[in-house]
Structure 1
Amino acid sequence: MLCCCCAKGFQQQAIKHDEQTAKALNKKAYDIRLTDPKKTVAIGKQAHEIATELNLTKEIAEANRVIGIGFYYLTEKDSALNRYLLAMKQFQYIHDELGEAKVLNNIGNLWTEIDYDVTLGYYQKALKIAKKYNKKDLIAGSYMNIGNTYYRKKQYNTALKYFELSNRVFTEIDNPVGTTLSLQNMGVIHYHLNNLEQSEKLLLDAHEKAKKHELNNTIAGMNMTLASIYMKKNNFKKAEEYIKEGIALSKLTSDQKKTYDLTFISYKLEEKRKNYKKALYYLREINILDSINYTKTITSNINLIQETIKQQQTQKENELTIQAQRNAKNLSLAIGSVAILCFFVIFLLVKTNRKSKTSNEKLTILNEEVIRQKNNVDRINHQLEELIAERTKDLIIKNQKLSEYSSHLSHQIRGPVATLKGLMMLVEDKLVESAEVAPQIKKCVDDIDEQIMGINEALHDSSRKGLS
């Protein structure tokens, strides 16, 4: 039988082991985010379970952040946002600013396809904290995220400057994954600046490093640019090799967007080869994937916006509750003050033996004042309850309209848009004359215009509950 000291020491060792296990699982989940995001979520949940059992707030927060990253790569943005907000709250509770900065970067990633200014705001806040603590890996990651945002804004020279900064810092701290991503980003920028030789050199270097670390999602992304480079050089065989590898890896990582983009490049390749039969096959695949990806992206973005509105509404309700509690506290102080005054007055009245009539009148006035103040507080609380109910009702209506808008947009507008794209491609490929398809194009445009006018009218008519 173990003595008390030995038993205690054994228990502490077991707890330490489990704490290290939680940290190791969080790191493993994060490291495979670009290879298998589904496993990132699963392993992150294991880390969360262990950390929760041991009440390790920092590891709980990191597990939530890592799970959110997994959901982000699976394009489940609303689920990612929920995990990020939980992580942010937990990091703030333990005053971990570096943890907060990481979450700020993650939340910024969610908004890259919705609002560039919002995205940059999150990244700049994260960079400020990272510089405050001279956290090199976080500084480099923030530089890269800012560069990606400027790339999306097509400000290529500004983007290149931030990618070069991130590469310099990642190289300094010997972070091979970060260096690989920076090289890829610089290669993409040089491609858009038409520096094909420099772009090819950077991307091949990044490709070799990515394979070494099994960064499947990253390889699929850089393969798109490499294929485009070789198509411009008329090296069709090389382009086809990178396309096939990219599609296989994007399917392996369940990245439907990259699968779509690589399929589109396949179409452009076969079109350039003048292999129109095969090009038409890829065109059909594109239309199918386009409809799926468009619906999923729109739904994901709307869910993100809805979740943000919900969080803002919850915050407002909490603020109203806090204000109500403050009002109640002030009332309690006022009532206490009045009560003390009442006792003091009674004491003086008894001591000085004043007329009972005067004493009763003063007590009555004081009691009426207390009653009046209590009634005022009841009225304020009632008004606050009505306000919360009204805002909640308004939010429900808006959410319903947004959901209907998403469904309507997906099923009603995508049809004419897909038809229009197909017609335009036929015209561009000179398979038909413009005059032959002009009536069909006009009909598609009229259909889209009619649907948009109907949606716009429904969304701005507060008396209507739906789009019908």
Structure 2
Amino acid sequence: MKTDKTDILDQPKQLGYISTAATAILIFCISIATHSFAGNIDSLNKILNGKKIADPERVTLTAQLAHAYRDANLDSMMIFANRGIALAKQIHFDQGKAACLKELGTAYSSKNLYDSTLLCYNRALHIYEQINDINGQKETVFSMANIYSRQLKYAMAIEYYEKTIAFSKKMNDQDGIAVGMANTGSIYMELGNYPESIKYYLESSKVYEQQQNVTGLLTCLTGIANVYSLLGNNVKAEEYVIKSLSLQNGKSKSHETISFYVDIGAVYTTIKNFDKGLLFFKKALHLSDSIGDSYWRNICLADIAETYYNMGNLDSSFAIYTACVKNLETVYDIDVNTVVNTGLGKILIKQGKTKEGITYLLKSFDIARENRIKDEIVENAEELSKAYEQLSTYDKALLYRKIYEVYKDSLFNEKSEKHIQQLQFDYQLEKNKTIAHNKSVRQTTIILSLIAGLISFVVIIILLFRSRQVEKMNKEKSIILANEVKQQSIKLEELNTFKDKTFSVLSHDLRGPISGFTGTMAMLDKKQITQQEFDEIRPEINKQLDALNLLLENLLGWSKNHMQGGASVSALPVNMHTVANDNIDLFENTTNKKTITIVNNIPADLNAFADRGQVDIIFRNLLNNAIKFTGTNGTITLNGKISGSNTIVSITDTGVGMTTNQMDKLFGIATEKSTYGTDGEKGIGIGLILCYEFIKANKGDLTVTSTPGAGTTFNIILPSVK
């Protein structure tokens, strides 16, 4: 693990302004490294190609070459990392394999593929544990903590920063201890746990002070100032600002000084001392201009514009935001772009140019939503709601108010994620006017279905009335008939509700994959994408089409079953081992992608007396369900046996499991039971209903046992062959 400024500050944003020292210094260091790596790449290639070297050394050099490509070419970085892994595996060089796995994980993180990143880091960590490499373990858990921090998984980030501190203590690595504590303090500040944040920052500052590490000590002091400013303790906040200013005193390098001034300016603006905040932002701007740093110039301009806005100086704010827009044409930054467009939109609305302001707010909202910048989504949604209300466009005002409320809650409650996804879906519907026709058709179908249900209900009531007139003395029969009518009415209502949900899901789940596939094929025909690019996305297309095919098969099977008044069964001896293998093969691509192992322990001679086609559908749906709710590196095991006159097959997974309440509603029609899988897979729950009905039709039973967090077992019970 490096203990320089880059690693110290690889942490989440702390304030509402454009950037903290963390993100900016990281990017600055990367820009410098890009130039230096070019020569390093050439020299490493010459060593690798110029003479015969031992295999372990070749693995080490390959890992170094992969690292050198980090800021030059990520694809080349991945190629050399994979090449090093293969060679290390061939010669059983575990340490070299772990190093190359770390480089591969770093490449994935640069592409924002965090699940793949963590998979590589976990594999590297496992190797370091086996060979008892403490330093390797320390560096790997630190990298994992940074990834969890980027994913906003703060509990996991804290856990792995604590592991970093523990390994650093074992090695007596004081810088590593200080880095882990400083980053943990930053996470606690994001969580709003200010006492813990200050505690960790203070402990980190003590270590940095002993090490005479001025840069690290400045980080801790400005962090503490940030915490006190968020607490509204202006006196304490300014006290730590003054301490850091006296310590800084021109000792840091230019880019570090810019970062420092921006952080101090942010503290002052948070405590509403806008004049001092503006002073330090302008100092940072002057310094960034003197060294020709366009990236920092954008950040400083945006902070200055936002400060002027908060001071009520709209003209100065608008002029500086406009200058920042021009700079973004050459040096683009997502955070700056969202803040600038939000600022311009708010100013225009205050100046009475509401429609023009909405254009900027929508642009910022789309960028924030695409990049999941929740605080910007909240601000833009609130401003858009107010703006549309001014224009008396109340439907859009209500939509953005709902988005604002849900995202605001979700900033500290990730359980709202499903509600956010639903609101995102509603937003897409509102934005895409072509869906209006489909919505109208769906509403017409629902109305006709309700009318049919009402007519059926009226007919039943009439028949019931006549029956009572004819059989007045038969009270028991009348009561039974009334109960049947009530149950049928409830079932009709459930079916109508289920149908509504089915149409809603189909309008999205059918249209999405088909539109995507059609668009991709059109792009291929027009040669807008190459055959190689098409081959890269082909697995994802196949996955969507397979899911679509299973959904259609289930819907057709369920519809046919209910139209015929029950499943038609043609029972014959069915080999359960063969049916299981056939369906396991169908899911090979999906299980490979999620690294799931399926073990078929069903005896080769195990048979059941049932309908072959229906048994095939039962296996397909249960396996699909197990894969859907089993995470990466999970296992699905199939077992079978004869018990009395029954054949029993169990399908056990190591997935997320279910609660008792979820299991109670599993085989009934319920609109709220649809759940997302571990890889974002969706469904409407009809597969399990179909399985249950088919097994019952074959004189069998379907049972389930499950433990949340441990996994689920489905037991298929069918008559055995006599």
Q: Tell me the TM-score normalized by structure 2.
A: 0.35
Change (3 A) 1:60 1:405: closer
Question: 1:186–1:202: 8 Å Cα contact kept in structure 2?
Answer: no
Change (3 A) 1:293 1:239: same
Q: 1:78: Cα distance to partner?
A: 1.6
1:149 is paired with a residue of what secondary structure? helix
Change (3 A) 1:184 1:61: farther
Q: 1:288: Cα distance to partner?
A: 2.2
Question: 1:104–1:122: 8 Å Cα contact kept in structure 2?
Answer: yes
Amino acid at match of 1:289: I
Residue among 360, 363, 367 paired with 1:285: 363
1:390 is paired with a residue of what secondary structure? strand
Amino acid at match of 2:264: L
Q: 1:107: Cα distance to partner?
A: 3.0
Change (3 A) 1:284 1:71: same
Two-structure CA RMSD over aligned residues (Å): 5.9
Residue among 373, 385, 390 paired with 2:652: 390
Question: What corresponds to 1:63 in structure 2?
Answer: 100
Q: 5 Å matches for 1:22-421?
A: 22-23=63-64, 25-26=66-67, 29=70, 32=71, 39=73, 42-43=76-77, 45-50=79-84, 52-53=86-87, 56-112=93-149, 113=151, 115-156=153-194, 158-163=196-201, 165-166=203-204, 189=227, 192-193=230-231, 198=241, 200=262, 202=264, 228-229=306-307, 231-233=309-311, 234=313, 236=317, 240=321, 244=325, 251=332, 256=334, 259-261=337-339, 263-268=341-346, 276=354, 278-294=356-372, 310-311=631-632, 313-314=634-635, 389-391=651-653, 401-402=675-676
Change (3 A) 1:27 1:227: farther
Amino acid at match of 1:286: S
Which stretches in structure 1 are left out of the alignment for 5+ residues? 1-9, 325-377, 380-384, 409-454
Amino acid at match of 2:631: K
Cα distance in 1, alignment partners of residues 686 and 188 from structure 2: 33
Change (3 A) 1:392 1:143: closer
Question: What corresponds to 1:335 in structure 2?
Answer: none
Cα distance in 2, alignment partners of residues 212 and 99 from structure 1: 37
Question: 2:338–2:368: 8 Å Cα contact kept in structure 1?
Answer: yes
Amino acid at match of 1:23: Q
Change (3 A) 1:224 1:295: closer
Q: 1:95: Cα distance to partner?
A: 1.6
Question: 1:227–1:243: 8 Å Cα contact kept in structure 2?
Answer: no
Cα distance in 2, alignment partners of residues 174 and 247 from structure 1: 38
Is 1:19 the equivalent of 2:60? yes
Change (3 A) 1:122 1:394: closer
Question: What corresponds to 1:339 in structure 2?
Answer: none
User: Which of the two has greater helix per residue?
Assistant: 1
Question: 2:631–2:678: 8 Å Cα contact kept in structure 1?
Answer: no
2:676 is paired with a residue of what secondary structure? helix
Which stretches in structure 2 are left out of the alignment for 5+ residues? 1-50, 242-260, 266-280, 375-413, 422-592, 595-626, 643-647, 658-665, 667-673, 692-722
1:322-342 alpha-carbon deviations (Å, 9 max, x no partner): xx9xxxxxxxxxxxxxxxxxx
Cα distance in 1, alignment partners of residues 100 and 142 from structure 2: 16
Cα distance in 2, alignment partners of residues 94 and 404 from structure 1: 32
Cα distance in 2, alignment partners of residues 170 and 308 from structure 1: 46
Question: 2:62–2:83: 8 Å Cα contact kept in structure 1?
Answer: no
Amino acid at match of 1:391: D
Change (3 A) 1:87 1:242: farther
1:268-308 alpha-carbon deviations (Å, 9 max, x no partner): 46556776555322211023224423499979x9999x999
Cα distance in 1, alignment partners of residues 86 and 689 from structure 2: 47
How many positions carry a matched residue from both structures? 331
Amino acid at match of 2:100: A
Cα distance in 2, alignment partners of residues 163 and 173 from structure 1: 15
Higher mean C-alpha displacement, 85-94 vs 187-196: 187-196
Question: 1:267–1:282: 8 Å Cα contact kept in structure 2?
Answer: yes
Question: 1:200–1:226: 8 Å Cα contact kept in structure 2?
Answer: no
**Which structure has more RCO (C-alpha within 8 Å, separation ≥ 6)?**
1
Q: 1:116: Cα distance to partner?
A: 3.2
1:405-461 alpha-carbon deviations (Å, 9 max, x no partner): 9688xxxxxxxxxxxxxxxxxxxxxxxxxxxxxxxxxxxxxxxxxxxxxx9xx6899
Amino acid at match of 1:152: E
1:310 is paired with a residue of what secondary structure? coil
Q: 1:150: Cα distance to partner?
A: 0.9
Question: 2:168–2:174: 8 Å Cα contact kept in structure 1?
Answer: yes
Change (3 A) 1:121 1:11: same
Change (3 A) 1:308 1:284: same
Higher mean C-alpha displacement, 284-293 vs 199-208: 199-208
Cα distance in 1, alignment partners of residues 335 and 629 from structure 2: 24
Change (3 A) 1:249 1:284: same
Higher mean C-alpha displacement, 170-179 vs 50-59: 170-179
Cα distance in 1, alignment partners of residues 359 and 226 from structure 2: 28
Percent identity reads 16
Cα distance in 2, alignment partners of residues 278 and 90 from structure 1: 57
Cα distance in 1, alignment partners of residues 215 and 79 from structure 2: 24
Question: 1:68–1:83: 8 Å Cα contact kept in structure 2?
Answer: yes
Amino acid at match of 2:98: A
1:97-118 alpha-carbon deviations (Å, 9 max, x no partner): 3322333233334444554333
Q: 1:153: Cα distance to partner?
A: 0.9
Change (3 A) 1:143 1:394: closer
1:171-201 alpha-carbon deviations (Å, 9 max, x no partner): 8768898678768756754653565874756
Question: 2:84–2:100: 8 Å Cα contact kept in structure 1?
Answer: no
Change (3 A) 1:100 1:187: same
Change (3 A) 1:25 1:151: same
Change (3 A) 1:92 1:274: farther
Q: 1:50: Cα distance to partner?
A: 3.7
Change (3 A) 1:22 1:43: same
User: Which of the two has greater strand per residue?
Assistant: 2
Amino acid at match of 1:236: S
2:634 is paired with a residue of what secondary structure? helix
Q: Tell me the TM-score normalized by structure 1.
A: 0.50
Question: 1:151–1:189: 8 Å Cα contact kept in structure 2?
Answer: yes
Question: 1:68–1:79: 8 Å Cα contact kept in structure 2?
Answer: yes
Change (3 A) 1:94 1:47: same
2:358 is paired with a residue of what secondary structure? helix
Question: What corresponds to 1:7 in structure 2?
Answer: none
